[in-house]
Amino acid sequence: MSAALAPVVPLKTQTRDPVEAAPPPSAGSSADKKGPITMSTQPFLKVEGLKRQFPQPGSPDPAPVFEDVHFGIERGQFVCVLGHSGCGKTTILNILAGLDEASAGHVIMDGREVRGPSLDRGVVFQGHALMPWLSALKNVEFAVRSRHPDWSAKQVREHAVKYLELVHLGHALDKKPAELSGGMKQRVGIARAFSIEPKMLLLDEPFGALDALTRGSIQDELIGIVEATQQTVFMITHDVDEAILLADRIVLMTNGPRAKIAEIVVNPLARPRVRETLHQQPAFYTLRNHLVDFLVKRSREFQPGPGWDAKNPPLVHPGQSSQPA
């Protein structure tokens, strides 16, 4: 365990075993998870040895964008990936979605290997990816109809309306995407992804292009829906505060090429987290400083230390170790 104190991991690492349960973030929602997690050998989503190379003219073996990527996501967990632009976050998400193929490694979800896209995984795309010739309602209905081909038109409509109302768009059902603001478009994208009630949700920087105020209110809506549905979420972001607000686990990626998972940070702040009071909790700034420090410095300089194992990225608890004496 001495490796935990090596300069690459400045904060004390509590455990190296992602399978071992961390203290439950909130007594209510996760208490039931504690038992099964310690006993089960397979997390809900398991990523093993993932690597992606893009062919480059004139180079038979180009440097992979990332390699040796291993991590797991438990059922009901909200995991954020934090890393600089270009490190391969979108590529990883596309592989999880089944839209792209890994050069090596594999993804196993719920006991089955991911091969191609599936209704089991809902995707919110970086650009909203709404179809501009369809109204907000029709965009969501398109997804609902795909999920439930046997439903009547009325059932499909009611289901779609329900999810649009969840993101407070009940008043804009018949508006075309061109008539919606950026935030509203992203909300439709979220409603569309949730409406198929997937086993897992993948979000690619869904709020990247939004102003702070809009982002805040959609984040709150997202928290609400995730709490209500106990959805398992994998989300990409480059916003530290967003990761702290939303994630139970924060996966830190080093810069590419050959990006790796440096560590996985456990969010000590209890769920449900409330934006207004979050920064008053003592653990908040320790966590935030840890993440910012990673982004500005360690993501660039990261070198695997002697105790670092790509197959088991260290699980870090910044809030609990407090100031190392």
Partner 1 sequence: MTRKPWLAPLLSALFFALFVGAWYLATTASSGGAGAAPAMDPEYAALMGAQAQAGGQSAMPGPGEVAAKIWEHVSDPFYDRGTNDKGLGIQIAYSIARVLAGYLLAALVAIPLGFVIGMSPLVYKALDPFIQILKPISPLAWMPLALYTIKDSGISAIFVIFICSLWPMLVNTAFGVASVRREWLNVARTLEVSPLRKAFLVILPAAAPTILTGMRISIGIAWLVIVAAEMLVGGTGIGYFVWNEWNNLSITNIITAILLIGLVGMLLDHLLAWVARAISWRE
Question: Do residues 262 and 254 lie in contact, with contact meaning Cβ atoms separated by under 8 Å?
Answer: yes
* CA–CA separation, 141 and 301 (whole Å): 47
**The one segment of 88-96, 109-117, 160-168, 285-293 that binds ligand ADP by CB under 6 A:** 88-96
Q: Does 30 bind Mg ion (CB under 5 A)?
A: no
Q: What would you measure as the largest C-alpha separation in the chain, in angstroms?
A: 65
What 3-state class would DSSP assign to 158?
helix
Half-sphere exposure at residue 8, Cβ-oriented, CA atoms within 13 angstroms: 21
Q: Does 88 bind ligand ADP (CB under 6 A)?
A: yes
Q: Looking only at residues 134 through 173 of this chain, which bind partner 1 when binding is defined by CB under 8 A?
A: 134, 142-143, 146-147
Q: Does 237 bind ligand ADP (CB under 6 A)?
A: no
Return the number of the residue (70 or 89) whose C-beta is nearest Mg ion: 89
* CA–CA separation, 195 and 156 (whole Å): 10
Q: Does 90 bind Mg ion (CB under 5 A)?
A: yes
**The one segment of 80-88, 104-112, 117-125, 194-202 that binds ligand ADP by CB under 6 A:** 80-88
Q: Does 122 bind partner 1 (CB under 8 A)?
A: yes
Closest-by-Cβ residue to ligand ADP is: 90
Smallest distance from the beta carbon of 90 to Mg ion, in angstroms? 3
What 3-state class would DSSP assign to 53?
coil
- H helices present in the chain, as ranges: 27-39, 89-97, 136-147, 153-166, 182-195, 212-229, 240-246, 275-278, 282-293, 299-301, 318-321
**The one segment of 92-100, 281-289, 292-300, 310-318 that binds partner 1 by CB under 8 A:** 92-100
* CA–CA separation, 315 and 317 (whole Å): 7
> Residue 27, Cβ neighbours under 10 Å: how many?
8
Binds 285, which of ligand ADP, Mg ion, partner 1, none (CB < 5 to 8 A, cut-off by type)? none
Q: Does 176 bind partner 1 (CB under 8 A)?
A: yes
Contacting positions for ligand ADP (CB under 6 A): 54, 65, 83, 85-91, 256
Instruction: Give contact residues for partner 1 (rule: CB under 8 A).
Output: 97-99, 116-119, 121-123, 125, 127, 129, 131-134, 142-143, 146-147, 176-178, 196
